[in-house]
Structure 1
Amino acid sequence: MFPSLYGKSILIEHIETLKVIVCLFCVEKYMSREKKEKKAEISATSYLLERIRELQLQVENLKSELENIERVPSVKIGIAFLIPGVAALIFSVVKESQILAFIGLGLTFWGALFLFVRPVRYVKSKLLHSASLSSYLTIDRIIKDLKFKGKSYYIPPYPEDVYLPEHLKGLKEMVVFISANKHPDMPSIEEIAKSRFLLKNPNGICIPPPGLGLLIQFERTLGRDLSKVDLETVLEVLPQLVTEGIPLAKQLEIEKEDGIIHLRILNSIYKKMYNLEGPKSVHILGCPIVSAIACAIAKSTGKVVTIKEDKISPDEQLIEVWYSLVAGD
């Protein structure tokens, strides 16, 4: 009788041990699957980030085409006509030859024409719109996958001539922080300096602004770093920068009142982004023009800038945006 009871107890212990082993196996399998899912999520996020960088590089290359419009070979052609033209005129005086005089005048005329009247290359506005659209669609996917419901915050960089230790070099980069919720804290200096894409405290992502290329072009045109220009001057020169040179819009107006900056853009080349079929992230980040102006305001004031509201007219001709400066930054 006792041996049988003893055998039963041993059997029960074995069964319990097997149960524990099975549970541990299931937990391990679940954790392994969870790790794989996390790895897949991280790799997907890394791919999307890399994709954004590639698309922004393409936009930068396109913009570099625009900023080099004055670098054309017409100068060399003009000099090639001008030198023999002047020589022919000199010899015509020495030799008293009317034929050489006419040849010299013709060559000099064409040389001057090529030298001073340079051809300008234009890039179709549809091409600029299409190049930027890909970046916004990628950002749409990231925001959707991460289930973010927050806003964008343009964080100003440190001026280029300010010395920073190597581990703080990331603070010289202009970034935009997209928060997971609507009322976040701002990322710390340490978090921004690490140049991370995903942030945990506060929860959100940091990416290069879609208008960064335009901001760089604005500064090159002005020949000044906007961090050293006061806000009033920046708001005064921005309309001319947007509507002339590289005409991105027909008209642009900026007004500042009670800490709110009101922007009005008429007939922008990016207006189609704001229709119902356009990317949702354009209402978070703004189109490249809106983004570039947010960057300019942030650099000039040294404060964080957020897009409070945007609105487009029914005919899609007028875009209105309201910026606000985040207090305490």
Structure 2
Amino acid sequence: MGDKIYYSTPEDQLKKLISQNLTIYDQDHALTGLRLFGYSNLIKSYRDPYILKSDDSIMYRDGVSFEQISSLYFFDKALRNTVMASMQDLEEHIKEIAANVIAQSFGVDPSSYLQYRNYQNKRKRKERFSLNGILHTMNEALTTDKEPIHHYMEKYGIVPPWILFKSIYFSTIINYIDQFKMPQKKLMVSYLYNSEKLGLSEEALCKLMMDTLFICMDYRNMSAHGGRIYNYTSSNILRSHEIFGEDEPVPIRGLSKLLFVLSLFEYKNPYSRLSRTLDVELNRHCKIFPQDITYLGQILNVNITQEDRVWISENSNKFHSLQHCSGLENPKRISLKDAQQAGYIPCKRCCNTDKFKN
């Protein structure tokens, strides 16, 4: 029998944290956080880097604060939300490419493009991801009364792949692509990658595509279920040596691996969005808690350099420390150094300290 679980109020939780040597600078703010997000989400899931364990008890390291742990929580939450948005963006792109490949290869009638003989029959651990399972799922989707599938079936008597795939889960689409024969996989990678720029063969690109998609599926599932992202490592491998050769330095773990494989696609939006959020959030958290730089740098496999960041707009030659200063429209965040080199000058209202001057 393990320890019993008891309900405790936010006030009880706060007392417990204080008894465990956690510094709390603003108790009202801490109580609000516990009420809004919960002890398990806000503290328990993010306390590990900050605690010392002894038998069945824990104590927080000297100097660690509630604000530091909650900042890590918000750092990870921003990453999680961005991973989800990036994966949804990628999903739409991949489905469209797969639909084009299937339509080019087998036509637009499901009675033709869903023929068993068009695909491999790779063995899968889960029946729903077997070729039979996938084709059954897609044929079942054809009978739905949901739009736009129902409209196409009623009006044209067929549902083209670019319409059908919209209603199919990303995990099913990825395993479906894995069942493509080599001519269709090679056609897929011709749309997804610039082989000349990457210097990779079609066979290597096919391996890269499948490894990337399975890694992306892991991160999508983790983010969809509210899992911790910043220190998550996909169980799916990237076959670096087979794809890039023995001497190619490739990130092998964590979020840096996801960023790396996303950066190789011709479609850069998912990579750019996630990279931008990571950069902004790292700068925010590490500026307040520089003691976390080493830990996060190791976990994320990145070199963290702190820099001041400012906001600029196409309609002004000034940079701002505040996003909404002077009614900024569609502001863009860049480093202070880049803004100064581009000829922007400091806003007298919000950038009146010495650090903003050349």
Fold conserved (TM > 0.5)? Answer: no
Work out which structure has the larger RCO, using CA pairs closer than 8 Å and 6 or more positions apart in sequence: 1
- TM-score interval, smaller chain: under 0.3
Structure with higher Rg: it is: 1
TM-score, with length taken from structure 2: 0.22
